[in-house]
Structure 1
Amino acid sequence: MPLFRLPRIVPVTAALLGLATLAGCTLITRTMSDGITSVITPYRVEVVQGNVVTREQIAAIKPGTQRARVRDVLGSPLLADPFHAQRWDYVFVIRRQGTEPQQRSVVVLFDGDVVKSVQAPDLPSELEFVASISRPSRGEVPKLELTDEERKNLPLPPKVETAAAAAVPQGAVRNYPPLEAP
């Protein structure tokens, strides 16, 4: 027979108190996380994959162009399947936070070692591409060059003493023996 027996209400009360504490922690955590994530967004890495191919580059590739020239102009293809050696796929994908993802695909078909056809729908020019990936500037662009009038108004630099005055030795003059025998 146990010497000391707890009333049944104590374990039940302890269990209810523990459950209430856990429920309160969950409620507080959920409220804090909703509040914090609505204000602070996590950093997401920009993902850039593939080759950028522009209108100017495709203009240099015409039917009859050699395979080596295509590689020089467009770079190595993202997909060069050994089972479809006559087809090179150039795919470009960029995903940046705050902008729509961009995806483009260019297919170059060969007949032997020369270009047969190029499938390149809706490619941007180089300037359009740079504009699409550039972030807007935050403020005024700094001025990088002075006008002729501003150059004339600059103060003249101070005059430097002549080299002869600076070459006069100061302090004791030592006589050293010659390095070579006469």
Structure 2
Amino acid sequence: MLGLALSACNLIYKLPTRQGNVIEQKQLDQLKVGMTRDQALFLLGTPIAASPFRADRWDYLGYYKSPRGQVSSRTVTLYFEADKLARIDGAAPVAGASSLDTPDAKSVIEQQKKDKVEAERAAEPTESGVVLTPESAPQAP
């Protein structure tokens, strides 16, 4: 009986999935053509795809899936000539993208805190068995 009642509630918390490089726009905004490889490495970290056959190209691949199932991915490619950054592909923010589409570490942590508070609040017992949220609270006449 209890198992049936709990199965109707969506109490399972799903962790966000982050794979590849963490690509934040504020780091990409600091990249400038003419930087050295070491400077680019300091800003973005080690590329996930650097080929020994093409030493002039670094690829940064980032994938993020939120606990609610929203997926975003991004690829940034750096091209070097004579150990200097010559071209950057994928560094411009995607038009119409919200912070949820391209999350940074601060946004992810804030969302995790909100989700935790929401889950704790939903788990608290209430006298009537009904949890009122601010959107569904009755209005005073």
Q: Match of 1:64, SS?
A: coil
Please report the RMSD computed on the Cα atoms of aligned residues, expressed in angstroms.
3.2
2:45 corresponds to which of 62, 65, 75: 75
Following superposition, which runs of at least 4 residues in structure 1 exceed 4 angstroms of deviation? 35-38, 40-43
2:78 corresponds to which of 86, 105, 108: 108
Q: Distance in 1 between matches of 2:103 and 2:63?
A: 12
Q: Calculate percent identity across the aligned residue pairs.
A: 25
Q: Distance in 1 between matches of 2:27 and 2:12?
A: 37
Q: Would you say how many aligned residue pairs link Structure 1 and Structure 2?
A: 106
Alignment gaps of 5+ in structure 2: 119-141
2:99 is aligned with 1:129: no
Q: What is the aligned partner in structure 1 of residue 135 from structure 2?
A: none
Q: Distance in 2 between matches of 1:80 and 1:107?
A: 10
- TM-score, structure 1 normalization: 0.47
- TM-score, structure 2 normalization: 0.59
Seen in structure 2, the aligned counterparts of structure 1 residues 56 and 44 have a Cα distance that, compared at 3 Å, is: closer
* Structure 1 or 2: more strand by fraction: 2
2:21 is aligned with 1:51: yes
Q: Distance in 2 between matches of 1:43 and 1:129?
A: 19
Considering only CA atoms, is the larger Rg found in Structure 1 or Structure 2?
1
* Structure 1 or 2: more helix by fraction: 1
Alignment gaps of 5+ in structure 1: 1-31, 140-182
* Alpha-carbon offset, residue 99 of structure 1: 4.1
My pick for the range that moved more, 43-52 or 110-119, is: 43-52
Greater length-normalized contact order (CA 8 Å, ≥ 6 residues apart): 2
Seen in structure 2, the aligned counterparts of structure 1 residues 132 and 100 have a Cα distance that, compared at 3 Å, is: farther
Q: What is the aligned partner in structure 1 of residue 88 from structure 2?
A: 118
